[in-house]
Amino acid sequence: PTPTTVPSEKVLKSEQFVGTWNATSQGATFQLDLTKEGEFTWTYSRGKDKQSVKGVFAVDQNNLALETNDGGGTMLAEVDFADPSQFKFKMIGDAEKDPGLNFKKS
């Protein structure tokens, strides 16, 4: 696909992400902790099942990249802030009808 130019008001800075963010989807909860040092912890919980991964993150225009320390790969998502305390996280390559995750700062 041809890269698109992101309007300047949609260009994000890593400082906007620092903090603890929470989202829910289909009975699962997601917690995303992002530090000013550029590190993250992503925790997924559903019932008694809980999984966490750690790594580093980077921001490029309106995209957030989460690269795991365990070699598990990189999650790449398009992000749209509704306001400073909430954003929509939609994995790049997901189905068009996939609603993504709506994170709120805690």
The tokens for 96 are 């068009």
User: pLDDT digit string (tens) for 75-102?
Assistant: 999 999 989 999 999 999 988 888 999 9
* Overall average pLDDT of the 14-36 stretch: 96
DSSP string, 12-67: --GGGG-EEEEEEETTEEEEEEE-TTSEEEEEEEETTEEEEEEEEEEEETTEEEEE
Q: What pLDDT does 70 receive?
A: 86
Q: What pLDDT does 67 receive?
A: 96
The sign of the torsion formed by the CA atoms of 16, 91, 48, 41 equals negative
User: pLDDT digit string (tens) for 29-62?
Assistant: 999 999 999 999 999 999 999 999 999 999 998 9
42 with 66: CB under 8 angstroms?
Answer: yes
| pTM confidence score | 0.87
